[in-house]
Structure 1
Amino acid sequence: MTWHGTVATELMDGPAAARAEDAFRLIYAEAFAEHPYDEAEDDVAAAFRRFPVQVRRPTFRAASARTGDGEPVGMAYGHTLGADTGWWDELTVPVPDDVRREDGQRTFGLLELAVRRVWRGQGVARRLHETLLDGLTAERVLLNVHPGSAAASAAYRAWGYRRIGEARPWGGSGELHDVMLLDLS
């Protein structure tokens, strides 16, 4: 655990993240209830139906942020993409084969990153991102971000991500999201 002022960040494996599911759910529900996400209880339930499967992946990793008294502040998690990933198939305009090539180690998929409102603007998201990627051997990181979330998009750009297209994640339903890529090499 690494302390930054009153907030500590911690890198977690799948079993540790599974034990922290309630805290992750709380953070997710609070952060994604806000506009432009406007997620309701059903959306949160759907996200956390996937969570037990995700945490069992061998390459799953998470980062959590908490106060000294244990209050959940933020979380981030993801895993490397398998050779058979459908992530690239969701883009509205295909990318070249050399970009979409996966081998199970090349690309880390950042699935979620969220910080509770009261803790925003204090560098917590950046520290979660750094903690999550620390020691990662992947060549790059891939994520989807809602284009209506100006703060999230700006943070990702400031951290070195570039927009490579747009997609309708989660099986093609819902709004278009920007697909962003960070080269780690």
Structure 2
Amino acid sequence: MTFEHFTAAQARDLRRTVEDIYRRSYTDAIASGDPFDSPAEFMRRFDAYTDPARDRTFELVVAYVDGVPAGQSWGWPLPPGAAWWNGLRLDDGDHEEFTAETGDRTFALSEIMVCAEHTGRGLARALHDELLRGRSEQRATLLVEPDNERAYARYRKWGWYRVGWLRPSWEDAPRFDVLMHDLPL
């Protein structure tokens, strides 16, 4: 297994690879017919994440097994006024203080996915650690569907904890639990 890191501009050049990994990772979600999980909607979100007009330091990590893309993970530091927190319902605490971003306080881990033929081999954890290793932010956040028991259990095992929930502004977006992890790992 090897990893390569890419910037937003480089990730845009890997668009076909990103979509291929998505299709090979989310076969059940795609088959469900949920519009949010369609490859077209997924790639629309990916294009927004890597839009050159946005001021964010996007990072994509692609994992290769025997030279073939087998998984990917990406994220970015949240800028001041980050839309990421829109609609957040905290379980406890001061909302204003919790969501105050400086551009180097919180890293948003947006995606981790492993192609179906490579699951169960520790690749998701390796992608997680590769993306978060060496981050300078104080904490990381991610969103997980509450009924995704497999992912949820792994995140908890890896040190993530729930702080609340939100529904992103993306069309047809489900409700997600908001998880946090203190950095460095």
TM range (shorter): 0.7 to 0.9
Aligned residues: 178
> Equivalents in 1 of 2:104, 2:36: separation in Å?
34
Shift of 1:78: 1.0
- Structure 1's consecutive aligned runs of 4 or more residues displaced over 6 angstroms after TM superposition are none
> Equivalents in 2 of 1:37, 1:182: separation in Å?
32
More divergent stretch after superposition (19-28 vs 168-177): 168-177
Contact 1:8/1:66 (<8 A) preserved: yes
Q: Which residue of 2 aligns with 1:178?
A: 177
Letter of the 2:77 partner, please give it: T
Are 2:49 and 1:30 equivalent residues in the alignment? Answer: no
Q: Percent identity?
A: 31
Contact 2:36/2:42 (<8 A) preserved: no
User: For 1:113-146, what per-residue CA distance to the aligned partner results, in whole angstroms no more than 9, with x for missing partners?
Assistant: 1101111111101111111112211111111011
More divergent stretch after superposition (115-124 vs 15-24): 15-24
User: For 1:68-108, what per-residue CA distance to the aligned partner results, in whole angstroms no more than 9, with x for missing partners?
Assistant: 2x322100011111112122222244751221110111111
Contact 1:36/1:146 (<8 A) preserved: no
Q: Which residue of 2 aligns with 1:64?
A: 62
Contact 2:30/2:38 (<8 A) preserved: no
Letter of the 1:62 partner, please give it: L
Are 2:73 and 1:81 equivalent residues in the alignment? Answer: no
> Equivalents in 2 of 1:131, 1:12: separation in Å?
12
Letter of the 1:123 partner, please give it: G
Q: Which residue of 2 aligns with 1:4?
A: none
Q: Which residue of 1 aligns with 2:42?
A: 47
> Equivalents in 2 of 1:133, 1:77: separation in Å?
10
Closer, same or farther: CA 154–21 of 1 in aligned 2, 3 Å = same
Are 2:7 and 1:8 equivalent residues in the alignment? Answer: no
Mark the runs of 5 or more structure 1 residues left unpaired by the alignment.
Answer: 1-6
Closer, same or farther: CA 164–17 of 1 in aligned 2, 3 Å = same
Letter of the 1:167 partner, please give it: L
Letter of the 2:142 partner, please give it: L
Closer, same or farther: CA 104–147 of 1 in aligned 2, 3 Å = same
Shift of 1:41: 8.9
Closer, same or farther: CA 136–146 of 1 in aligned 2, 3 Å = same
More divergent stretch after superposition (84-93 vs 123-132): 84-93
Mark the runs of 5 or more structure 2 residues left unpaired by the alignment.
Answer: none
Per the normalisation by structure 1, the TM-score is: 0.84
> Equivalents in 2 of 1:174, 1:100: separation in Å?
21
